[in-house]
Amino acid sequence: MENLKDCFQKLKDSGLKVTPQRLAIVKILEGNTCHPSADKIYNEVKKKYPMISFATVYKTLKVLAEIGEIQQLKIVEKKVNFDPNTDPHNHFFCKKCREIRDVFPGKKINLKEIDGHLIEKYQVYFYGICSKCRKQN
């Protein structure tokens, strides 16, 4: 995520009011490397704002993704997770503990064009057993 002031201005420009609940959603995401789902974000915000609806959380996340402030990850079937790091990077999903982690293989992939197609963004997902789970066995 860019700085919070720019993020809030982009939310305003997209037609959303910047409410305390939406501010809480953005603050939960800022610097978050856990790749939370909408449910996790909703449950966290609900602690401070019990009247917030899931629809408000989901709409805010959708707009944040549309304006380029977060990435939507569809790494787990029937579930969407969110990543505030919009720089190109890859993700690893552990089949055992079900955590999503950022991974940075040795070479940085800098794709701009493939076979004449202009590449604007890409997502690479790796699946397996994480190092923490491997050590436990």
Domains identified in the chain and CATH numbers: 4-82 (1.10.10.10), 87-136 (3.30.1490)
What is the per-residue pLDDT across 48-69, written as a single tens digit (0 to 9) for each? 999 999 999 999 999 999 999 9
Which residues are 118's β-sheet partners?
Answer: 113
**pLDDT tens by residue, 91-120:** 999 999 999 999 876 666 666 777 888 888
Q: How would DSSP label each residue in 70-133? A: SEEE--STT--EEES--SS-EEEEETTT--EEEE--SSPP---EETTEEP-----EEEE--HHH
Tell me the angle at which helices 38-48 and 20-29 cross, rounded to the nearest 10 degrees: 130
Weakest-pLDDT range from 2-6, 67-71, 89-93: 2-6
Q: Is the pTM of this model over 0.75?
A: yes
Instruction: Write out the H or E segment, with its range, that includes residue 15.
Output: none
Taken as a whole, the chain contains a residue count of 137
Give the model's pLDDT for residue 42: 97
